Amino acid sequence: MAILVDKNTRLLVQGITGKAGGFHARSCMEYGTNLVAGVTPARGGETFDGKIPVFDTVFEARQQTGCNATMIFVPAEFAADSIMEAVDAGIESIICITEGIPVLDMMKVRAGMAGSPSRLIGPNCPGIITPGQCKIGIMPGYIHKPGKVGVVSRSGTLTYEAVWQLSSRGHGQSTCVGIGGDPINGTSHLDVVRMFNEDPDTEAMIMIGEIGGTAEEEAAAWLADNCKKPVAAFIAGATAPPGRRMGHAGAIVSGGKGTAAGKIEALQAAGIEVAQTPADMADALLRRVARG
């Protein structure tokens, strides 16, 4: 069953006529995702790759194709508006890849989305993949295998590392969700682990986090009280100097808060197996599973 996306998902790509948007729309299509539409204002009427209709607006794309997910490749300056356009059109899953959206814009998006049935994943995220069924994002499809491990992560390439380790050991993934590296985003670790907990296809989870904020601690507290499935985690940034933004807008230790050590402590207190190094992520989960 997996979570959020599967072979029935109908994908729209906002920004499909751009270089990155087009490249990744094609890549998702090649993976087997059901790409049904693209949107770029003023380019309506064109066809992408000879088969996918391009519309001027999301509401038209929704009306004409019934798309129920969107992948947003719109520049940072305009991306918040694109998210709200998708929300307005009722698109159920909104995956925003764009990095660099101002924090205050995202604050308004969150406030504006309150009560909406749409789910936003990201921004500044690699996307989401249910292996074998649907890829919405920039991840390399070939490293993934269908299976039973749910993966949730703030990172892109560090997630691929974990997935590669799992696949190499014969353990596939139910769904991999990249929630992105921004301090204010649409979906948290906690949101995703709740879904994994409910999903009959997910039997174990890997949570990948990094310095900054308290998302991992919140997820750990909930998992301790509510989840019987085995969970492993890795926190990046133990060696990052305080007060510096480490690439991701959200990866910053501020006023002593959001340290890797603090997160690791909270995770271990919740009975979660924490990988000592990024090479150890899949093995950490296998150790936890072996403990029973």
Partner 1 sequence: MNIHEYQAKELLDKFGVTNTPGGVASTPEEAEKVARSLGTNNLVVKAQVHAGGRGKGTFTNGFKGGVHLCKTANQARDIAAQMLGHTLVTHQTGPEGRVVRKVLISQSVEIARELYFAILIDRAISAPVIVASTEGGVDIESVAARSPEKIVRMPVNPLYGLLPFQTRKLAKLLGMASGEMRLACKLFANLYKLFIRSDCSMVEVNPLVVTKGGDVLALDAKFNFDDNALFRHPEISAYRDIEEEDPREVEASKSNLSYIGLDGNIACLVNGAGLAMATMDIIKHHGGEPANFLDVGGGATEQQVTEAFKILISDKRVKAILVNIFGGIMKCDIIAQGIINAVKAVHLPVPLVVRLEGTNVEVGRRLLNGSNLPLVAATDIADAAQKVVAAVQPA
Positions marked active-site: 248
Torsion angle defined by CA atoms of residues 205, 211, 214 and 220, in that order, rounded to the nearest 10 degrees = 30
**CB under 8 Å to 166, separation ≥6 — which residues?**
145, 147, 149, 151, 172, 173, 206, 282, 285
Q: Which stretch binds partner 1 (CB under 8 A): 33-41, 56-64, 212-220, 223-231?
A: 212-220
Can residue 81 be called a binding residue for partner 1 (CB under 8 A)? no
CB of 95 to partner 1, least distance (A): 14
**Distances from the Cα of 198 to the Cα of 2, 24, 215, 228, 288, angstroms:** 10, 30, 20, 11, 20
Facing residues of 127 across strands?
Answer: 137, 178
d(CA 2, CA 205): 12
Query: 101, 195, 227, 282: which one contacts partner 1 (CB under 8 A)?
Result: 101
Query: 244, 261, 268, 269: which one contacts partner 1 (CB under 8 A)?
Result: 244
Can residue 263 be called a binding residue for partner 1 (CB under 8 A)? no
H or E stretch covering 221: helix 215-226
Can residue 154 be called a binding residue for partner 1 (CB under 8 A)? yes
Which residue is listed with tokens 């790409």?
Answer: 35
Can residue 218 be called a binding residue for partner 1 (CB under 8 A)? yes
CB atoms within 10 A of CB 245: 14
Residue 45 or residue 255: which is nearer to partner 1 going by CB?
255
Query: 87, 211, 282, 285: which one contacts partner 1 (CB under 8 A)?
Result: 211
Residue 87 or residue 139: which is nearer to partner 1 going by CB?
139
Residue 18 or residue 53: which is nearer to partner 1 going by CB?
18
d(CA 183, CA 107): 10
- Contact set with partner 1 (CB under 8 A): 20, 24, 76-77, 100-104, 106-108, 110-111, 126, 138-140, 143, 153-161, 164, 181, 183-184, 208, 210-215, 218, 234, 236-241, 244-251, 254-256, 276-279
